[in-house]
Chain A
Amino acid sequence: MFDRRLIEHFDWGLLVLILLIAGTGLMVLYSAVMAGWQGTGLHYLFKRQLIWMGGGAALMTGILVFDFQKLNKLNLFIYAACVTLLVGVYFFGQSGGGSQRWISFGGISVQPSELMKIALIISLASIYATKVSPEGLNFRQLLKPAVFCMIPVGLIVNQPDLGTGLMLLLIAGAITLFVKVEKKVVLILGALSGCVLPVVWFFGLKAYQKSRILTFLDPDRDPLGTGYHIIQSKIAIGSGMITGKGFLQGTQNALAFLPEQHTDFILSVLAEEWGLVGCTVLLILYFLLICWGLNIAYNCRNLFGSILAFGITSMIFWQIFINVGMVMGLMPVVGMPLPLVSYGGSSVITNMMGFGILLNISMRRFYTS
């Protein structure tokens, strides 16, 4: 029957952190969509985000019910299902933004590439759990995880959705380094990617993707296109100064100078209205969240659970790093939402699922395999 220990071990701290970040996110989103000219048509987005958050919370709670180790047994099935969905996108997918990313089931559209992130983390955790050694993995041992990784990456890059494809690679890379690989392997792979990158640049990237990267290196190159985003975003952040202009008082935001102010560039709304203080609070909350995730990985008595927890944590980490870096002009503009803050259903659902898994591992941390 139901194990009482599960309630005793429930990770209230993590839940509180999640709620704090989500609350901050909703407040910033409210400002992003409500400020400025009334009736801009964005206000309904706030309501929709609330619905997504509610759905995500339900999903998160649902994930707590079963033992996370079931995921280990089911990993091949989950992986195959997600790959099938990705292939299905080719045939039944809906186009949006120039690529086929969505697939529809009776009115509910899902983005299989988002689910794939979690599926890949589960699969890699499952593979590595049987392989790790204190000396690190060699090339032969890395073969299987590499294949598991490249299939979905290839499919997603072909959609084309370069951003999510790179995200999968970053997550997989982080997990692999976490379980430790031989020094020799790291050096060779590093040299190899140095050779491959120019090839990708010249043959693999589309013109608009190249232009984004070039613009990042030199924002003046295109001050009216992508460069405009970065310049305006920096103005918004900088103008917030220490304490900010106050809730709903951001002029950059209100006058619609900020592009994508409710999705990818939402951090600049926070920065403008709450200043360095607000941003630092959010960064600290995120930092605590990541550390909490790493702590769950450390405390889990089960290797699969440890690696799984680390994988989920790395997924959250990369999103924060790339989004915040991009908005502050440290990184090229790639479509990357800020977890729990940016508007967007796919992002909310994927991250909530991730948190569900983290909470699940945390409350069952004394289970051994």
Chain B
Amino acid sequence: MVDLPKTKERDWMKQRVMAASLCVLIVFMLLFFRLVYLQLIKGEEYHRLSETNCVRLKSIKPSRGLIFDRHGELLVDNRPAFDLVMVLEDTGSVPDTVSLLSSLIDEPYVDLMEQIQKAGTAAFYKPIVLKKDISRDQLAVVEAHKFDLPGIYVEIEPTRHYIYPETASHLLGYLGEVNKKELESGMLPHVRAGDHIGRYGVEKSFESYLQGRRGGRQVEVDVNGRVVQELKTVAPVPGHNLHLTLDLPLQQLAEDLLEDRDGAVVALNPANGDVLVMASNPGFDQNDFIGGISTRNWQALMNNPGRPMINKTIQAEYPPASTYKILTAIAALEEKKIDGDDTTFCPGFYMFRGRRYHCWRRHGHGHLNVVDALAQSCDVFFYLAGEKTGVDALAQYANGCGLGRPTGIDLDHERQGLIPTSAWKRERFNEAWFPGETLSISIGQGFNLVTPLQMAVFTAAIANGGTLYRPRIVTAVKDVNGHLVREMDPEITGGIPAGRQTLDLVRKGLTEVVEGDRGTARSIRIKQIEMAGKTGTAQVSSRKTGEKFDNENQKRTLRDHAWFVCYAPAENPVIAIAVIIEHGEHGSSAAAPVAGTLVKKYLGLPGPEESFDAAPEG
């Protein structure tokens, strides 16, 4: 091009520029004609609209979906709340009105003014919320002085209402006002400033179903703000209703049984993974979060050492302690390191590389096979079984049994626990695995960590013959007319890597835990049915295995955690339970009775609420 004669280049350039100019001219003519159309031809019409005017928007909030338990019992609904709002355009003197209002309803003047200042820029004709959810008394006073309070209105807002406060608070969750960042993200196209969205629990996980679609009215109002005519109304679409797998009476019983002890209870239906109970203590009152939680309440929740804002069934990780012996037994049997007839002699300790590893029973269990060892929770037996199997094989089986990975429940913040391997230790601590650590792992007392839900899923799988289910919390989403929107089918996530023989042996051992004469949980035995379970006592403070430890004189926070996992009836189980009581000391005395009582209730068995005897174990 550069080599072309100058005149040719000029011609070419002239042609290109002329073409471009023509395009530009056409576009500007188009814009001009549109302007003429809007301002001349349609001008009168628009002018009238802007004068008489004007079009205002009134949004109609949708009602949020309801939440039911498995029996159709309503758990969460909506109630009307009265919000005090102010329209600046209609208010004469803002300070005068606000100070009168503040004396009438007994709210600090500065708090009310702060709301007006916060509303900031686009607030001239839009209602500003001065105070949410006023009391009936305040409402009465405001209504009585209506004419002294120009520009002050009461708006009725549907508000979330948790019918059983503090019940299943972690599972149900709570709402919070949407923040600016979320609004700007474009991820919530139907949410507007001031709306509440699920912040935790089911309210959050199923937000898109519960939310509904906002409606609105476009109205023409006169100078005094009165509606002249409705231009357009879009009806709101109510949110969908959720049907949970939760069993309300059983949940309430579980929470009562925990009383003031910190801990968690999970109960599953082994046939499909339905979550019947998900209790975490202490809890919180979800109603406190409506309209923004007060600083004082929030501080109290945050400073509570029992960590009420944590769902301990999925967010807390504990050493599994003796409940892990189930896993060690499965791994050793499957790897053919032991078989059902092998017996081991427990003298009360195991000498390993010049060190004594104690059994919880100081004078020993004598000769026992795998069934006896599970029933009596003999440490020595599982030291040996675990040592023969090895840490990495144990970990492989643990992963196969759903430990060390999230269960996949539809709730946020689920922790995955920890199943150590030799490779993990090298990576984490840059240190080789010590054979002695395998002994600790075998009785669930090393690095291993599990969540109560993982243990419940594992126990349920043993109960149902080896199938691991994804815990299901919602069975169906239905629209307001009761039509099915979505159905959640049970979901299988894997199977216990063990043959029938192994599972039969383990199940026999677990039944002996409750039903055997020397079983560690024999105190919760009931006449009508056989139960199967496993106790566990998780050391909190580190100490040498078997060292004498006086729990009574220890500070509460150093006391051991009490575990119990079980299923019932032992044949054809219908419920699987995992219980942990933080600092409850002994699985048999603290945790097992909770599970026992729940089983009786669930199976509808009569019997007094007698307290089960305590029998210490390891």
Contacts and interface: CB of A to CB of B under 8 A. Distances in A.
A353 interface: no
A368 B125 CA distance: 61
Nearest to B215: A224
B527 interface: no
Interface stretch (A13-21, A250-258, A339-347): A250-258
A256 B51 contact: no
Interface in B88-133: 88-89, 120-126
B35 A280 contact: yes
Interface string A65-90: 00000000000000000000000000
B134 interface: no
B34 interface: yes
Nearest to A297: B17
A207 B28 contact: no
A209 B185 CA distance: 12
Given A223-B232, A321-B31, A328-B31, A98 B124 contact: no
Nearest to B31: A324
A295 B16 CA distance: 11
Contacts of B59: 224
B343 to A, nearest CB: 62
Given A41-B120, A224-B218, A283-B32, A290 B50 contact: no
B339 to A, nearest CB: 57
Query: What is the interface residue range for chain A against chain B?
Result: 35 or more
Interface string A203-218: 0001111010000000
Given A36-B124, A298-B13, A252 B50 contact: yes
Interface stretch (B39-47, B251-259, B304-312, B316-324): B39-47
A37 B24 contact: no
B409 interface: no
A306 interface: yes
Given A98-B185, A223-B218, A255-B125, A321 B13 contact: no
Contacts of A41: 120-121
Interface in A213-250: 220, 223-224, 228, 231-232, 234-242
B426 to A, nearest CB: 30
A367 interface: no
Given A133-B1, A291-B24, A239 B31 contact: no
Given A178-B16, A276-B40, A287-B28, A241 B35 contact: no
A163 to B, nearest CB: 12
Contacts of B218: 223-224, 228
A107 interface: no
Nearest to A206: B186
Nearest to A238: B46
Contacts of B187: 98
B603 interface: no
B605 interface: no
A325 interface: yes
What secondary structure prevails in chain A residues at the interface with B? helix
Contacts of A280: 32, 35
Given A132-B1, A223-B232, A252 B54 contact: yes
B12 interface: yes
Given A220-B232, A279-B35, A291-B21, A134 B8 contact: yes
B49 to A, nearest CB: 5
Contact of B184 (A96, A228, A324): A96
B234 interface: yes
A236 B27 CA distance: 22
Contacts of B13: 297-298, 306
Contacts of A337: none
A235 B55 CA distance: 10
Interface centre among B17, B20, B214 (most CB of A within 10 A): B20
Given A40-B124, A235-B55, A275 B39 contact: yes
A224 B216 contact: yes
B216 to A, nearest CB: 4
A42 interface: yes
A310 B231 CA distance: 47
In the complex, the 8 A-B pairs of residues with the closest C-beta atoms, listed nearest first: A238-B46, A98-B185, A239-B50, A224-B216, A241-B43, A239-B47, A298-B17, A97-B184
Interface of B: 1-2, 4, 8-9, 12-14, 16-17, 20-21, 24-25, 27-28, 30-32, 34-36, 38-40, 42-47, 49-51, 53-55, 57, 59, 88-89, 120-126, 181, 184-187, 189, 214, 216, 218, 231-232, 234
Given A134-B4, A134-B12, A255-B124, 12 more contacts: A37-B123, A41-B120, A209-B186, A223-B232, A235-B50, A235-B54, A237-B38, A238-B45, A239-B49, A294-B17, A306-B13, A330-B34
22 contacts: A36-B124, A37-B124, A41-B120, A134-B4, A207-B189, A223-B218, A224-B57, A228-B57, A228-B218, A232-B55, A235-B49, A235-B50, A240-B39, A241-B39, A256-B123, A256-B124, A257-B55, A290-B24, A291-B24, A297-B13, A321-B31, A330-B30
